Structure 1
């Protein structure tokens, strides 16, 4: 076997192994995060209207820097909108990403528990759009009892294998901040 053929075969093997390793490093799987809170002495519909308004999300989520509503349609029973937004990472604030979120806001029928829902899907991109991740979530709001509201959020987020702990901390920080700020908002409005 001549030297060129060995060099070419070696190069192919190195490139193939590199691609497989890189794919495993960057391949993204989905994880789930759930959180909940109780908003005292507030009706679910009031909380739902607040959470559904993305301009309030900037107050609830401290990582959101700017946003632009790009589509909006529907009615009181089922309202949909899309938003482009920019955020910084909570643990690495000098890293920014851009995202597009699609929201579906509706009151679920009694057969589905009579809850209020704000469901969304997101595509979050880093590195000038070269690396993107997807997520989806649902924020459900319902009566806990006659005067208190129960809020529960479930998020399914995509994360590269090697960044699992970092992604978890980022999701956890944002979701806890949203719930804490939501409680704070309604607590201050009662004073």
Structure 2
């Protein structure tokens, strides 16, 4: 009888362990939106600055290093891919590595500029990878002179770590927007 109880407990423990593992690796999709207004700034100035990935180390403090691996196009429609490494803001001991593809388009007639990107971020030496995408839009303000910068991010995260991922995304997006605000405020003085 004790042997049957032991097997039942072990089987139950195995199922509970597998269920917890499933919750740890099960991925769900999440979204985040960010917005800033930069007075007396033309949207193409901000677009050009953000489109240049070398400025990302200034905008996003989690980025450690990067390499541009492919590039093509012209000023109106430019595409490039980059490999980059970053540390997590809330747990800097776990670096991750990503490959991102950027599609950058601008229309000087309508003053609407886009940076669309997809990112594949891998952790644990590339064993566990997650996807994200971003649409960053730069337009003129209808009511006053300035640039409206809007970003819509979709990202994957394990269900069990959703709050951690959300804090990480919010930290990075706030850093980018605040550093953009600071950059273009400094320029005006």
Same fold (TM over 0.5): yes
The residue that corresponds to 1:136 in the other structure is: 133
The residue that corresponds to 2:116 in the other structure is: 119
CA distance in structure 2 between the partners assigned to 1:168 and 1:40 by the alignment: 29
In angstroms, what is the RMSD of aligned CA positions?
Answer: 2.3
The residue that corresponds to 2:185 in the other structure is: 187
Where do 5+ consecutive residues of structure 1 fail to align?
none
The residue that corresponds to 1:94 in the other structure is: 93
Query: After TM superposition, which residue ranges in structure 1, 4 or more long, deviate above 6 angstroms?
Result: 10-17
**TM-score under structure 1 length normalisation:** 0.87
Aligned counterpart in structure 1 of residue 158 of structure 2, from 157, 160, 166: 160
Which residues of 2 match residues 22-37 of structure 1 at below 5 A?
22-37=21-36
Which residues of 2 match residues 72-87 of structure 1 at below 5 A?
72-87=71-86
What SS does the aligned partner of 1:169 have?
A: helix
Aligned length: 183
Instruction: State the shift of 1:155 in Å.
Output: 0.4
- Deviation string 1:93-152 (CA, Å, 9 cap, x unpaired) is 122100001000002597xx7521001000001100011110001110000145211000
CA distance in structure 1 between the partners assigned to 2:93 and 2:10 by the alignment: 38
**TM-score under structure 2 length normalisation:** 0.88
Decide whether the 8 Å contact of 2:44 with 2:111 is kept in 1.
Answer: no
CA distance in structure 2 between the partners assigned to 1:15 and 1:109 by the alignment: 61
Where do 5+ consecutive residues of structure 2 fail to align?
none
Decide whether the 8 Å contact of 2:33 with 2:150 is kept in 1.
Answer: yes
